[in-house]
């Protein structure tokens, strides 16, 4: 199993560290490290964006539920 397939199971903090490391390797790594990091970045960015969007949607839903609950009282 490749690393990109493991991204959905990673904790947010670990995902952020992995992205920072990939970013660093793109700049300072060996040719192989630069290529691997560049190949991984789109999957990292997509996973992070997906999580961000899910968190925003959950917060919006929670606000809407809270607003509906306060109107009942």
- Read off the pLDDT of residues 6-37 as tens digits, 9 standing for 90 and up: 999 999 999 999 999 999 999 999 999 999 99
The pLDDT score that the predictor gives to residue 69 is 76
pLDDT in tens, 37-64: 999 999 999 999 999 999 999 999 998 8
Contact 73, 41 (CB under 8 A): no
Domain boundaries, the chain: 11-72
- Token pair in block for residue 67: 């607003």
Exposure pattern of 26-49 as b/e (b: 16+ CB <10 Å)?
Answer: beebeeeeeebbeebeebbeebbe
DSSP letter string, 53-73: HHHHHHHHHHHHHHHHHHHH-
């Amino acid at each position: 199993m490749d690393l990109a397939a493991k991204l959905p199971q990673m904790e947010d903090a670990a995902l952020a560290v992995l992205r920072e490391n990939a970013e660093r390797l793109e700049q300072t790594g060996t040719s192989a490290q630069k290529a691997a990091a560049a190949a991984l970045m789109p999957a990292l960015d997509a996973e992070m964006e997906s999580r961000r969007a899910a968190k925003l949607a959950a917060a919006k839903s929670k606000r809407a539920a809270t607003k509906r609950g306060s109107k009942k009282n």
